[in-house]
Amino acid sequence: MSAPKKRPFQIEAFKHRAVVDPKYAEKTWKVLEHAIHEIYNHNASGLSFEELYRNAYNMVLHKFGDKLYSGLVMTMTSHLREISQSIESAQGEIFLEELNRKWADHNKALQMIRDILMYMDRTFIPSNNRTPVHELGLNLWRDVVIHSSKTQVRLQDTLLELVFRERNGEVINRGLMRNVVKMLMDLGLSVYQEDFEKRFLFVSANFYCLESQKFIESCDCGDYLMKAEKRLNEEMERVSHYLDPRSESKITHVVEKEMIECHMHTLVHMEKSGLVNMLLNDKYEDLGRMYNLFHRVPEGLTIVKEVMTSFIRETGKQLIMDPERLKDPVDFVQRLLNLKDKYDKVITMAFNNDKTFQNALNSSFEYFINLNARSPEFISLFVDDKLRRGLKGVGEEDVEVVLDKVMMLFRYLQEKDVFEKYYKQHLAKRLLSGKTISDDAERSLIVKLKTECGYQFTSKLEGMFTDMKTSHDTMQGFYAFLGSEFGDSPTLVVQVLTTGSWPTQSSPQCNLPSDIIGVCDRFKSYYLGTHNGRRLSWQTSMGTADLKATFVSGQKHELNVSTYQMCVLMLFNNAEQLTCKEIEQATSIPISELKRCLQSLACVKGKNVLRKEPMSKDISEDDTFFFNDKFTSKFFKVKIGTVVAQRESEPENLETRQRVEEDRKPQIEAAIVRIMKSRKILEHNNVIAEVTKQLQPRFLANPVVIKKRIESLIEREFLERDKVDRKLYRYLA
């Protein structure tokens, strides 16, 4: 059974055309016009909005939309003209209040009118490209009220006057300001900008230009910055209370330009209160304020950074070049660390840990530390002092802090190989004399150096610790080997040092006492018997000794002395008096070392086991020395240190420099060969640049020296010059 067919519905036009009263449109509009008048006159309570909506609906439906729309425009314009006259007649401060009140009334009326004409708004207006009712009301308010000849300028002047009064400390009606400014924004961004913001920014620029000039003439830098910061905060607060949020960046830019950017150089260089004064007096709050304000303007922080860098470099240069400061290397380095701590604190507390400032600080320190060729030596002496006694009783964490600070200075050194040279010497003395306060601290620093410069840098330093451990085991084996043969021989402790790992130098052998020579020969026979193919060379300049001494009063003391001092004192077992010249001949100790020994034995109060005639601090060859029978001390063990210059003398320093230069030659040649082996052909300037870059972690290679090493390699046929271009080098496989 099939389903019945569905018949489609069809809508047909009326058979007879509907007839409309010719006066219908006019009558209906009169009703609507009356309603609009009543709404503006605050008599809307008696109106039937349903009936009014139906009338407007029918007008649109019967094609009278044009009449309805044009009638609306004329009626609203008429009412707004009356409102405009009312606003213009308001005097003084009543003007803004009247404007605000009338604007509120207009908005309410507009809402009601839009409700009545909703059908027109939804159908007629879109299809005929007319302005919607609400937007029409705003546009008419703008054109008739705000842009009237008497209101437009007056409104601007009144608003700007209130802002001016508020800037000068008066309290204004911010709520009223907010409503009026919001009205301008509701009328469109262009209205707000053209009728208020543009002139507001112009007037503000003039205001802050004059004020900044007045402040710059009467305030110091710190006060000026406080006032500028206060003004900036006030403007941001003003925006948040009654201006368009988009105005914030514009008005803050005006304040920044007039109060900061235009006076940057004057503020930074202000005498007795500028940036230098702030740095000198640790004015962290003022510095922080300067950073935050200058950060807001182009090139602001660049100026601050340049002035700070220049000042730090000059301060550091004065410290580095001060002859008085150079007399005490430990104090010299401590002052460098204090200076670094000071500016690290400035950057942390005032400059927001800004990396550009940190880099500038590092660059400044690298600059002036390397102005003094003795900086590597002094830093090593500082480490030596701390690891001998300066860190005694200090906690592990504090030790690490000191070592990290040392490493920071080490990084600034361009001649790290010179530091290595001195550090090796000082470490050797600490290890051999047993005067290091902590093996852990020593090893910690070596690990830090290894991390910074690689295994090659510390391999010999680590070898020194290995030798100390091996020597301890060797001595145990030696005394086990001797057994009962040892007898009354002097106790000998030998550290066997690997040549190359230790900073040993060929020095003249001093004449040891016969008792000591005997036990030394025994050890030498034992050692060479257990180690094939080795050779021992005694380094008497690096040894120490403990002597038992008896004085006339019957007092007995144990004297801890150097090997050289032992050789000198033992001579007085067989002699009443000896001249410096006679002691030199008997011991063969180098005269410079001998004079230091004699100074420490005869000229140091409380340690003077010898007497000297004539009595003076300086030693001459004709001075006579006697055993001091009347020596007394409240200690049984008396430690007599050698009078050692804390820093090398100029000739010694020159000699060290020469050794460093010699050590650099093979390193430079090795770098040249590595580069040429990989590149095959390279131009002279490129060779210089690449060698310098490759060796930079250890030292700054001199281009003249590099050129000489290239010549040497050409002579030995590792490289050859190009026959056409003499500045082009080829690697010879």
SS3 557: strand
Containing H/E element for 180?
helix 174-186
SS3 277: helix
In sequence order, what are the residues at sequence separation of 6 or more whose Cβ sits closer than 8 angstroms to the Cβ of residue 328? 646
DSSP state of 502: B
Residue 219 CA: distances (Å) to CA of 256, 268, 287, 358, 375: 18, 13, 16, 30, 43
Q: How far apart are CA 162 and CA 172, in angstroms?
A: 7
| Torsion angle in degrees (nearest 10) through CA of 19, 21, 26, 27 | -120
Residue 395: exposure state from Cβ atoms within 10 A (0-12, 13-18, ≥19): exposed
Contact 387, 435 (CB under 8 A): no
CA angle 725, 730, 731 (to 5 degrees): 170
Indicate whether this model's pTM tops 0.75. yes
Relative to beta strand 610-613, strand 624-627 is antiparallel
Q: What is the pLDDT of residue 505?
A: 64
- Angle, helices 94-116/65-89, rounded to nearest 10 degrees: 170
Q: How far apart are CA 277 and CA 273, in angstroms?
A: 5
DSSP state of 497: P
Q: What is the pLDDT of residue 733?
A: 67
Q: How far apart are CA 501 and CA 84, in angstroms?
A: 100
Containing H/E element for 613?
strand 610-613
Q: Taking the CA of residue 640 as centre, how many other CA atoms within 13 Å lie in the half-sphere pointing to its CB?
A: 32
Q: Which of 168, 166, 160, 167 is nearest to 184 (CA)?
A: 160
Longest Cα pair distance anywhere in the chain, in angstroms? Answer: 158
Q: How far apart are CA 198 and CA 660, in angstroms?
A: 70
- Angle, helices 221-242/284-294, rounded to nearest 10 degrees: 50
Q: Taking the CA of residue 413 as centre, how many other CA atoms within 13 Å lie in the half-sphere pointing to its CB?
A: 25
Enumerate the CATH 1.10.10.10 domain ranges in the chain, comma separated.
653-731
Residue recorded with tokens 């490209």:
129
CA angle 324, 650, 598 (to 5 degrees): 90
The first and second tokens of residue 361, run together, are 């600080």
CATH topology of domain 544-639: Ribosomal Protein S5; domain 2 (3.30.230)
The first and second tokens of residue 534, run together, are 């080795």
Enumerate the CATH 3.30.230.130 domain ranges in the chain, comma separated.
544-639
Tell me the per-residue pLDDT of 281-300, one tens digit each, with 9 for 90 and over: 999 999 999 999 999 999 99
Cis amide leading into 614 (omega within 30): yes
Q: What are the two backbone dihedrals, phi and then psi, of residue 556, each rounded to the nearest 5 degrees?
A: -115, 140
CATH class of 23-145: mainly alpha
Relative to beta strand 556-562, strand 637-639 is parallel
State which CATH number among 1.10.10.10, 1.20.120.790, 3.40.640.10, 3.30.300.10 fits the domain covering 653-731.
1.10.10.10
Q: How far apart are CA 550 and CA 629, in angstroms?
A: 9
Tell which phi-psi region holds residue 682, choosing left (phi > 0), alpha (psi between -120 and 50) or beta: beta
The first and second tokens of residue 519, run together, are 């036990």
Q: How far apart are CA 85 and CA 254, in angstroms?
A: 36
Secondary structure (DSSP) of 33-83: HHHHHHHHTT-GGG--HHHHHHHHHHHHHTT-HHHHHHHHHHHHHHHHHHH
Residue 162 CA: distances (Å) to CA of 101, 211, 238: 18, 18, 12
Q: What is the pLDDT of residue 6?
A: 59
The first and second tokens of residue 365, run together, are 């320190």
> Which residue stretches of the chain have pLDDT < 50?
1, 14, 16-19, 644-645
Q: Which of 660, 658, 647 is nearest to 323 (CA)?
A: 647
Q: Quote the distance between the C-alpha of residue 268 and its chain's center.
A: 19
The first and second tokens of residue 423, run together, are 């550090």
Amino acid at 357: F
Q: Which of 162, 303, 304, 296 is nearest to 241 (CA)?
A: 162
Secondary structure (DSSP) of 388-400: IIITTT--HHHHH
Contact 364, 309 (CB under 8 A): yes
> For residue 294, how many other CB atoms are within 10 A of its CB?
23
Q: Which of 445, 460, 442 is nearest to 504 (CA)?
A: 460
Q: What is the pLDDT of residue 715?
A: 86
Q: Which of 499, 391, 375 is nearest to 445 (CA)?
A: 391
